[in-house]
Structure 1
Amino acid sequence: MTPQEVELVQASFGKVLPQAEAAAGLFYERLFEIAPHVRPYFRGNLRAQGAKLMTTLCAVVESLHDLDELMPSVRAMARRHVAYGVTPADYQPVGAALVHALSVHLGEEFTPDVRGAWLSAYADLSSEMIMAAYPPRGAEGP
């Protein structure tokens, strides 16, 4: 990610945070609409799960300027997701649901540049997570 993309992601997420609960709810609503097969991955209270999602996103967004420090926890989270049944293909609808929720909550402020920055951030992180959780045969993860 470029420094400008990091700034766009951080600034736009700061505008979503006051609406965190609603944004998380919209994220899950959209995710289950476009990928109903993932619903069983989410056990328990979705409001609590949404709070965890937003806490995690906040930590990730705050750490985008230092991806090397962030990656060990991102990789560990990806490995945990395997136990829930998450597959590499599941990352695409998650990204789509995230972008949808952000676009709704940011409205006109979700410019093409902001969208591109979020897509770049999600592509970098999801690629890293997929590689950590599903390393090629014979490869060892960090």
Structure 2
Amino acid sequence: MTADLSLIRSSFTLVEPHGTQVTAYFYDHLFANHPEVRPLFAAHIGEQRDRLWAALGALVANIENTETLIGMLQNLGRRHVGYGALAEHYPAVGASLIATLQHYAGDAWTPAVEESWTAVYGVISGTMVAAGDAASH
């Protein structure tokens, strides 16, 4: 599975105008479909929504700047271990991210866009999990 970075950028451009609605949808989807992860999040997640939105924007902005992107993801992975995130939580987050992006991209969401986001999320989650594992040992 490979990622077409131009599809990542163009699909995010379609999603971006929806702003914090995107992250609200994401968390609603995540908690409805994976209630076991709800305890990992503060009761009031408004600030968390803002951080997620900023992280997504930074990810897309740095999608071709590997060194910056990897450093950012490693930092996130180390922090998430402190919140109780485990490797087995990442697939739930990925499924909700894909569902959210698909919802807001509408008809522009194609199998190629989904494949690209799935591949990118694989790199994101793999990098974060590895950094988290290294930090916890």
TM-score normalized with structure 2 length: 0.91
Q: CA deviation at 1:46?
A: 2.1
Q: CA deviation at 1:106?
A: 1.1
What residue in structure 1 maps to residue 105 of structure 2?
A: 106
Q: CA deviation at 1:69?
A: 2.1
The superposition leaves residues 90-140 of structure 1 with CA deviations (integer Å, 9 ceiling, x where unpaired) of 0000000000001111111111111111001000111111111114x98xx
Counterpart of 1:10, as a letter, is: R
What residue in structure 1 maps to residue 9 of structure 2?
A: 10
Measure the CA separation in 2 of the matches of 1:73 and 1:55: 12
**Number of residue-to-residue matches in the alignment:** 136
Q: CA deviation at 1:44?
A: 4.7
What residue in structure 1 maps to residue 59 of structure 2?
A: 60
What residue in structure 2 maps to residue 30 of structure 1?
A: 29
TM-score normalized with structure 1 length: 0.88
CA contact (8 A) 1:26 1:101 kept: yes
Task: Give the number of the structure with larger relative contact order, counting CA–CA contacts within 8 Å between residues 6 or more apart.
Answer: 2
> CA RMSD for the aligned pairs?
1.9
Could you tell me which runs of 5 or more consecutive residues in structure 1 were left unpaired when the two chains were aligned: none
Q: CA deviation at 1:83?
A: 0.9
Give the percent of matched residue pairs that are identical in Structure 1 and Structure 2. 32
Could you tell me which runs of 5 or more consecutive residues in structure 2 were left unpaired when the two chains were aligned: none
CA contact (8 A) 1:30 1:97 kept: yes
Measure the CA separation in 2 of the matches of 1:80 and 1:59: 17
